[in-house]
Amino acid sequence: KSSFAALTIASAFIFVIYQIVLFNKIYIKLAPLKNDRTAERLAYDILYTVPDNALLFLIEDTTAFDTEYMYYTAGGASGWRGIKLIQLGAIGYPFYSKILAKHYPQLDFSGISLFDDTQKALSEIADRYYTIYPIMSGGPFQVNSNYQWVRTGLLYRLYNKKDYNLITPQYIKQVN
């Protein structure tokens, strides 16, 4: 009995010591991150780059999650200056069209099959909304040949090729 009790006490002691050492190793690495605002700053930079009432397609997880967090926390339930966030990676899922319809009733995706051919669907969205909303993205993606992506800082803006001759540095400053 005494050897079992001694083994139990020794095991518990080793387990506690191990947890303390592990905590200290992890804490030393993670403690400086509690004041790191890199993600929030990135999200603010993205949101301030987008013109009011724009469609913003988010592509990568880091920018998507950070931007959505700031969009809903700093912008409130109504969002941020009328910007409509669309996660490009989720656009092909059936549940996502319901989410978009709930959050942005002014957007009508009827007649656009988001599930079959994503490039065709995005081209149809561009055709439908190019003249109504500025279309921005975290990175270029394929749309039909009528459009061209132009880098405007952290983001890309979609332009119709017929408007491409208007694009100068002064024009980009004016429209952004």
Both tokens of 148, joined, read 């061209």
pLDDT of residue 111: 73
For 65-113, the pLDDT digits (tens) are 999 888 888 876 667 788 999 998 888 777 888 888 888 999 987 777 7
Answer yes or no: are the C-beta atoms of 136 and 81 closer than 8 Å: no
Average pLDDT, the chain: 86
For 136-154, the pLDDT digits (tens) are 999 998 898 899 998 888 9
Quote the Cα angle for 147-149-154, to 5°.
Answer: 155
